[in-house]
Amino acid sequence: MMNEDIKHDLIQSLSKNLRVDLRKNEDLRSIEIETGCVATAEGSARVKFGDTEVIAGVKLAVEKPFPDTPEDAILMVASEMLPLSNPKYEGGPPGVDAIEMARVIDRSFRESRCIETKKLCIQKGEKVWSIAIDIAPLNDDGNLLDVGAFAALLALQNTVFPEYDGTKVLVDKKTTMKLPMVREPITVTVFKIGNAFVVDPTETEQTSFDARMTFAILADDKICSMQKGGDTAIMEEDLDIMLDIAIKTSQELRKKIPR
């Protein structure tokens, strides 16, 4: 829990569009991107927003499809909040934060239909490719969800298929085939702190938020998923402001995607 005096000073500063690290309320921190950083994964990415750092990896396998989607690839997203990333996390089963991150990112990929899953069917009802995305924070200094989602997207784009001989996957032999990705959902969370709206908060800022909205946004500025957080209600006029900020931020992040 943040000291009330510190929170008051933070809100006063944000009301003047000024943050502790001298950014404006809608400014992102410096961004670093590295792809192909995990040799044992089919695709991977390491992303840093300021001091928040996340690594994401993708593993491919051939599995039996779900009965209700016999021609579609299987997509799974998992995240683990490592104690090394922040003392507030503990070892053991995934906590609320890890579960929420995985579900929100999973929904952004599914609802955007960013992967043409039917193209990954090998034999209807018997064999399809499965795509497992693992997300691990290396350091949590705020805005972990957005950084994790961006890392997961870049890891998918970096993914290359291994050879498959009809019976088993030859993990040591890579092909040149990439995932059939047709869209790029960008996840942006806008936080309301007092009467100010902030993107990419540090941990100190995030600790004091009243409400937040997470949007997954496509290149045409369409929204494919949303998630609310925090106990404070969000008024319609606030939602409009938050959406405009999220769209603007997604456009900025889209320019950072390696081409």
pLDDT tens digits, one per residue of 154-190: 999 999 999 999 889 998 899 999 999 999 999 999 9
| pLDDT band with cut points at 50, 70 and 90 for residue 2 | low
Residues 79, 136 contacting (CB under 8 angstroms): yes
Domains of the chain from N-terminus onward: 4-254 (3.30.230.70)
- The C-alpha atoms of residue 18 and residue 26 are separated, in whole angstroms, by 10
Residues 209, 193 contacting (CB under 8 angstroms): yes
- At residue 25, the pLDDT reads 98
Mean model confidence pLDDT for the chain:
95
Tokens of 156: 């998918």
Q: Is the pLDDT of residue 209 over 70?
A: yes
User: Percent of the chain, pLDDT > 70?
Assistant: 99
- The C-alpha atoms of residue 142 and residue 24 are separated, in whole angstroms, by 16
What digits encode the pLDDT tens for the residues 220-235?
A: 999 999 999 999 999 9
What digits encode the pLDDT tens for the residues 58-107?
A: 999 999 999 999 999 999 999 988 877 887 877 777 888 899 999 999 99
Q: Which residue has the tokens 């990419």?
A: 200
Residues 65, 121 contacting (CB under 8 angstroms): yes
